[in-house]
A and B are shown apart, each in its own frame.
Chain A
Amino acid sequence: QQQVKQSPQSLIVQKGGISIINCAYENTAFDYFPWYQQFPGKGPALLIAIRPDVSEKKEGRFTISFNKSAKQFSLHIMDSQPGDSATYFCAAAGESGGSYIPTFGRGTSLIVHP
């Protein structure tokens, strides 16, 4: 059972454009929603995260939008740059039986053309 569904699987954007990646979750116990960025040959790195008490969080060119009623959240990358080309993973986490194990989406491969 895939608890976090991420789309699209791949995304191509022109430099300066907006990249949008969407995720949907099922478990209402989730209370932490991070996005990770992964470059080839590297481990994922935390990019930005949100708690469900806010609907939006912005850090530089990266924004998370969160819709609690729809159980959806998305990552917006404004003014996308070739250096943003990477794989992006959303995740959702919440305590379950004393464990804090995030559930990850399958990832989105972003390519930003110069």
Chain B
Amino acid sequence: GAGVSQSPSNKVTEKGKDVELRCDPISGHTALYWYRQSLGQGLEFLIYFQGNSAPDKSGLPSDRFSAERTGGSVSTLTIQRTQQEDSAVYLCASSIDRGSYEQYFGPGTRLTVT
């Protein structure tokens, strides 16, 4: 079956602009995660959605970052007033349910803020 998909694959934006990154999880997966991966760094957790529960936003670095998940499926990560330090690869992952730690990652969106 189809894996996790993300769009766009690459995004170049000017400092101060807003961007939206999209994630389509594997069908039937109720848990969805967003991570940020900077050059030479590990995976920085951003936000976690589980079914219809309130998301865990504890990893969002600032109030410029927000995310939503519509209908328990597609998720959008929004970064407002982008800064150069926001440049990174943004990864989305899904897992079948809250009790399963096995995560399936998408290919990521490479964001460059100029």
Contacts and interface: CB of A to CB of B under 8 A. Distances in A.
B108 A102 contact: no
A43 B56 CA distance: 22
Contacts of A43: 4, 91, 93, 105-108
A45 interface: yes
| Size bin of chain B's contact surface | 20 to 34
A102 B91 contact: no
A25 interface: no
Interface in B81-114: 91, 93, 95, 98-108
B103 A46 contact: yes
Contacts, number: 57
A10 to B, nearest CB: 10
Interface string A29-57: 00010101000011111100100000000
Interface residues of A, number: 23
Contacts of B101: 32, 34, 49, 93, 100, 102
B62 interface: no
A13 B4 CA distance: 32
A107 to B, nearest CB: 5
Interface of B: 4, 31, 33, 35, 41-43, 45, 48, 50, 53, 56, 59, 91, 93, 95, 98-108
5 contacts: A42-B107, A43-B108, A44-B105, A46-B104, A98-B98
